[in-house]
Structure 1
Amino acid sequence: MKNKRYTIITVFIAFAMAVGLAGCKKGLLDQHPLNQITDETYWQTSDDATMFATRMYTYMPQDNFVYYEGMSDNGISNDQTTRRFGNSTQDPTISSKEWSYEPMRQAFSFFANVDKVPGMDPALKKRLTAEVKFVLAYRYFIMTTLYGDIPFVNSLITDPTKADLPKTPKADIMKAELDWLDEAAADLPLSYTGADLGRATKGAAMALKARIYLYAGDYQNAAAAAKAVMDLNLYKLYPTYFDFFQKDGDYSSEDIWSFGYTLSVHQNGLRDILGSQALMNGRNILDPTSELVNDYESKNGYYPYTKDPAFVATDPYNNRDPRLRQTVLCPGDIYPYPYFADINQYDPFNNQGDRIGGDLGSRSGYSWCKNVDRYDYVRSGVNNWKAFHYAEVLLNYAEAQNEVAGPAADVIAALDQVRSRAGMPTIAQTFSINGLALNQTNMRNFIRHERRIELAGEGLRYFDVLRWKIGEQVLQGAIYTVDASAGITNISTANGHINKYPKTVVEQRFFNNAKFYVWPIPQFAIDDSKGILTQNPLWK
C-alpha cells in the first residue's frame, strides 16, 4: 500500500497524543506518564514511523520565536517573562523557555525503534532518520546557545536511576550537532513537492550548520558552510521583502525551512503578538522600539538618516530605507489592508485601539507589519514562520568571510544582493556617501547594522547581542517612545486630534553584569537532579 505523507501541519491533529515510551522519571529529562500506546504496539507500519518523525518538527522555531525580539533592543513586550529578559531582571524561576529534553527523548526513541518497522522502504527510513537528526541538532544548538554547558543525552534512557546527568561542555555537544547535520545533509533531498513541503532539506541542514559555526565564532568554517549553501545554486532572494514574509513567500526560492500554518488546521498567533489593534485586530503584545526605527538609513544610504539633506523633522519616516515601512508601522502610515474599513491610518496618538498607554495600545508608538498576515483578518494568520532563509545565509557568509579575510569582493557581493532587493544603494555608494574607509572594522560594524535591519522582527537580534557581547551597550539604559515633538505632518489635527508626542521613557534596562550573556539553568531542573546538575557559575 502506498505510504501516506504527514506534513508538519497534519501532525497537530494526527499525532496530538504523546506516544508512550519506556520511561524514566519526570525531572531533568521532562518525562511524562506512559500512554496506553507503547513501543511494542506502535511501530507497526511506515506510516507510524513517518508520523513520529513528523512530530519532531513541533520542536522547531514557530511563531512564538518572535518574542526574542522583546529580549533585544528591537522590541518591548507586555509579556512579563519576555520583558524581564529584555530588562535583565530574569532569574532561574523563569528561565525554562528552552529547557526541554523531550525532543531528545523522542529523537532517540525514533532511532531505537525505527528498525522494528516491518518492510519499511530503506530510502524512506534513511530520509526520516536524517530529518530527526536535523531537529535534534537544532534543539541542542538552541539550548547550548542560551544555557552554555548542559547535560548531554545521546541515547534513549530507560533506567530511571540514570536520568540525572552532569553537564557536558558546550563545545563537545557542538561537535555532535555538526556530525548529525553532516549525516543529515548527506541523506536529505534538495527539495520536496506537495504534502512533503516543509520537511528538512539538504539546504536546511547546511544552513543550520553555518549558523552554529557563526554563533561559535568559528568564522573560517562558518564562511565555508554558508558558501556551500550558496553554491547549491538552489536559493535566491524573493523579489519583494515584505511579501516574502507573507503567504506569498511560503516555500519560495528564499525559504530554506519554515514552520507551516494553514487556515483549517493550525493558524499562527502573529497578529495577536505583533499587530496593531485598530488596523489589524491585533493586541500589540510586542512592539518595535524607537531605537530600532532610528537605526534605519535614509533611502540614499545616509547613516544616521538625519544626515540626509532631504531629512524633514515633521516627516521622519519618508525617504528612509524601504524596509522600515515594510517592517514597522510608523505614526501616520497608511496600511493598505485595514481590518476596520473606516480606519486605515496608523495613529498611536489618537486611534483608540493603538493609543500609547492604552489597554491594547503600543508602548513605543510603533507597531509591526512584517510577518502579520495582511489577508486573513478574522483569524491570526496562515503565513509560515521563516526560520531559515537565504538572506540570512548571505549575511552569515558576509560576516564570517569579513572576519577571515576582510571586506573583499565576495563579502561586498553578498551584501549588495541583500541591499539591492531592499532598494538600497550598494556598499560602495553607501560607504562613499558616509565617508567610510573600506576596512575590516568599518565593514564589521556595517554588517552588524545590516543584520539588524534585514532580520528585524525575526527573533535573531537577541542572539546577535549575546554572541557579540554588546548587551552593555544596547540593553542598558532607557527605552523611549517615539519622539514626535516636532509633529507628524501626515496626521491631521482636525476634530481635536494631536500630531505631536514628546519623547518619553517607557522602561529602564539593566544589562550591567556578564551573567546576562548566559541563561540560568531553571531552578526546577536543579532541584530535581539531587545535586548532580549545578547552576551556571555566574548565577550562583
Structure 2
Amino acid sequence: MKKTIFYTGALLGVIFLVTSCNKAGSFLDQTATETLTQQKVFSDSTNTMNFLNDIYKYLGQDIIPARQSYINSTQPGSNDQSCLEELTTQSVSFYSAPQAAWITGTSTSANDPFGNYYGRYYTEIRACNMYMQNVKNAPLSAAIIKRTTAEARFLRAWYYAEMIRIYGGVMLVGDNPLPPDYSGDYKRNTYKECIDYIAGQCDTAAMSLPSASTQSTSDYGRITSGACLALKARMLLTAASPLFNGSPITTDAQLEPLVSYSQAYDATLWQKAAEAFRALMNLNQYSLYVDNSIPGNGFRQLFLMRTNTEYILPYMAAPGQSGTNDLENFRFPISRSSNGGSSTPSQNLVDQFGMNNGLPITDPNSGYDSTHPYLNRDPRFYHTIIYNGASVYSSSTQKMDIVNIYDTQSSNGQLTPTTDGVQSYHTKTGYYCRKMADDSVSTSTGHDRVLPLIRYAEILLGYAEATNEYQGPTADVYNAVEQIRMRAGIAPGSANDYGLAPGMTKDQMRAVIQNEYRVEFAYEGHWFYDCRRWKIAATEEAKPIQGLRAIIQSNGSFVYTRFTVLNSVFVNPEMYFLPIPANEVFKSNDMLQNPGW
C-alpha cells in the first residue's frame, strides 16, 4: 500500500531554526527561534551551523525532566515534570497520569506514554539528511564540512537507536530527506538490520571526528569519535542481551525479526560487544571521576561539573529545559520552596542500595538494621536519595538542615505528615530524589548544568557484563566492577575486593553487575531499557511500587512501615516494547504492529 510518510511538521521550505547564543562556552545554552528558508540556511555559515545545533536539542530525552512536554514543543510545560524513571517501579510522581496508565498496563497504541517520540525522532533524522545533503554547498571550510557531516551522521544514528530501543526494528529511510508528501513503500526494517546499520554509521562517523583529547574546549558537547564508539558498544551489548539473543518474545514468523537480533542464541554477540567496549577503553581518553575525601564524593560531584573526564557524550542543557534549577525545583522537598513530589524514589529502588561494605542488605553479614535503615549504606545512596533525617544544604540558612519526612500518630491512630511527609502533592513514597541535583542551588537561582548521556562507568560495566557472559567472571570482569565500587566509596575490605566474593559463578557475577547498573545509573534513564533487555521486567516490573512511612515515637525514635503506592502490572509480551503509534500502523498494510498490541 502507498502512503504519506510520517514527517508531519518536518523541515522543508520553511525551516524552524534554533539559533545559538554562546553562554559559558556552550553552543546550545540559549536559543531563539527564527524562520528561515532552506536556501538562506545553507548559504550562510552561521545559519548552517545553527541548523546543525538545533538537531542536538532532543538528545537528552532519557534523562531530562519534563521530557514529554519538551518532545512535543520547543519548551517544557509547567504541568509535566515526569522523567523516564517514572515509567518504571523505581520512581513515583504526583504527576501520575502517564505513569499510572503504563505501570498498570492500560496504555494503548493510541495512548503512547512516550508522547510523540516516533514523529519527533523521524523529524530529526530528516533534518540530519538535509544537513548532510546541503552542507557541501555551504560557505564553510572543507575541514568543518567533513567534521559536521560526521556529527549529523552520528546524530541520525542516535535517533534511530533511541527508536529501536523502545519500538524494535523501524523503517530506515536512507540518506535522502524524503518530502512530507512522499508516497511509497512503508515497511519496518528488521531489528538486526537496524543494529548493524547503527554500528556501521558510528564507525563511519568516527573516522571524521576529533577525539576527546583533540577536541577544542569551545566544542565541548559536540560529538567525538569516542561518542561514536560508545553508542556502537551500547547497541551491540543490547543486541547480545537475552531479549534479543536466542529467546524472542514471539514465535510469529513476521514479527520475530522486528524484535529479535538472533532467534538462536549466539554467544559471539557478547564477544563483539566486549571488543567494542575494549576498543573505547584502549583509547585511554576517559576515566572515572574519583574523589573519596568523603566516601562517594566523586560520584556526587561528577554531575555538578561542567566538564570532566567521565562524560563521553554530555548533554548541554538549555535554560528552561534541564538547565537552571529544574532538577532542584522538581525534585527537592517542598520545604525547599520547590514543587516537591516529582520523581520520588520508591522503596523498590532504595532496597537495591547495599551497605558500605559492599554487601546487599539481604546478606546476613551486611550489618543492615531495618529499625535504622539508613545507617552505613552504599555512599551512592546518600547522593541519590533524600530520606527522613537526611541533611540538605539550605541556601536560606547557609547550613545543612535536617529533612523531616515523617508522620505523627494520634491516640486514635490518625497519621499527620510533616511538611515534607507523605502526601498527595509531596512525596508519595517517603523519599525525594537528590541525584544530579545541587544543594547549593535555590529554586530561584540556577546551575550551569551538563547531564550525562553516556559516561565511562557505562563502558566499564558494559565490558564487565559482556565479558562475563562470554568468558565468565575473569580477572578483567572483577577489575571493572571493583573500579565502579571503589569510586562509589565502598570500603575496600581486607582483601581489597570491595565486597565482591571470590570465585563467583557467571550467574552470581551477573546478579552483581545488574545491581551495579541499577544503583549507579538511577535517574539516568537506564533501568527502563536494562530490565527489558535482560528480560527480567516481567518479574521486576510486576512488583508493587512501595514506599516507607516513618512514624515518630514519643522518645524521638521512628518506626518504619512499608506501604504500597501503586500496584504495578507487566503485560507480557506487550510491555517489552512500546506500540508503533496507531495512526502510523493504519497507513500501510505492510506496517506491522509490535507483539501483543
TM-score tier (shorter)? 0.7 to 0.9
1:415 deviates by 0.8
1:76 to 89, 92, 97: 92
1:308 deviates by 3.7
SS at match of 2:135: helix
**Using a 3 Å threshold, how does the CA distance of structure 1 residues 102 and 332 change in structure 2: closer, same or farther?**
same
1:219 to 270, 279, 296: 270
Query: Root-mean-square deviation (CA), in Å?
Result: 2.9
> Residue in 1 aligned with 2:595?
537
CA contact (8 A) 1:76 1:83 kept: no
**Which 5+ residue runs of structure 2 have no aligned equivalent?**
1-19, 68-81, 241-268, 291-296, 408-416
Q: Distance in 2 between matches of 1:241 and 1:261?
A: 21
Listed one character per residue, the Cα deviations across residues 462-496 of structure 1 (whole Å, up to 9, x for unaligned) are 10011011112111132221154xx6xxx7858xx
CA contact (8 A) 1:15 1:51 kept: no
1:373 to 418, 438, 459: 438
2:481 to 411, 415, 422: 415
Listed one character per residue, the Cα deviations across residues 214-243 of structure 1 (whole Å, up to 9, x for unaligned) are 111132121111111111111111123443
> Which moved further from structure 2: 253-262 or 213-222?
253-262
1:175 deviates by 1.8
> Residue in 2 aligned with 1:27?
none
2:390 to 333, 340, 343: 333
Alignment of 1:199 onto 2:257: no
> Residue in 2 aligned with 1:471?
537
CA contact (8 A) 1:74 1:288 kept: yes
1:146 deviates by 0.6
Q: Distance in 2 between matches of 1:78 and 1:228?
A: 43
Q: Which amino acid aligns with 1:255?
A: Y
TM alignment of 1:88-127, pairs within 5 A: 88-95=105-112, 96-100=115-119, 101-118=122-139, 120-127=140-147
TM alignment of 1:308-319, pairs within 5 A: 308=365, 310-319=367-376
SS at match of 1:93: coil
Identity within the alignment, % = 26
CA contact (8 A) 2:90 2:545 kept: no
Alignment of 1:259 onto 2:279: no
> Residue in 2 aligned with 1:274?
331
CA contact (8 A) 1:347 1:354 kept: yes
Q: Distance in 1 between matches of 2:47 and 2:483?
A: 43
**Using a 3 Å threshold, how does the CA distance of structure 1 residues 479 and 14 change in structure 2: closer, same or farther?**
closer
Q: Distance in 1 between matches of 2:179 and 2:571?
A: 43
TM alignment of 1:232-247, pairs within 5 A: 232-239=283-290, 240-247=297-304
Q: Distance in 2 between matches of 1:260 and 1:230?
A: 24
Alignment of 1:505 onto 2:564: yes
> TM-score, normalized by length of structure 1?
0.86
Alignment of 1:321 onto 2:378: yes
SS at match of 2:336: helix
Alignment of 1:404 onto 2:470: yes
SS at match of 2:454: strand
Q: Which amino acid aligns with 2:420?
A: D
> TM-score, normalized by length of structure 2?
0.78
**Which 5+ residue runs of structure 1 have no aligned equivalent?**
18-34
**Using a 3 Å threshold, how does the CA distance of structure 1 residues 341 and 91 change in structure 2: closer, same or farther?**
farther
Q: Distance in 1 between matches of 2:492 and 2:557?
A: 39
SS at match of 2:204: helix
> Residue in 2 aligned with 1:41?
40
1:312 deviates by 3.3
> Residue in 2 aligned with 1:22?
none
Q: Distance in 1 between matches of 2:421 and 2:389?
A: 13
Q: Distance in 2 between matches of 1:260 and 1:132?
A: 17
SS at match of 2:105: coil
Q: Distance in 1 between matches of 2:133 and 2:164?
A: 24
Q: Distance in 1 between matches of 2:399 and 2:573?
A: 50
CA contact (8 A) 2:271 2:466 kept: yes
> Residue in 2 aligned with 1:152?
172
SS at match of 1:354: coil
Alignment of 1:364 onto 2:429: yes
**Using a 3 Å threshold, how does the CA distance of structure 1 residues 337 and 429 change in structure 2: closer, same or farther?**
farther
Alignment of 1:141 onto 2:197: no
Listed one character per residue, the Cα deviations across residues 132-169 of structure 1 (whole Å, up to 9, x for unaligned) are 11111111011011111222222211371426622111
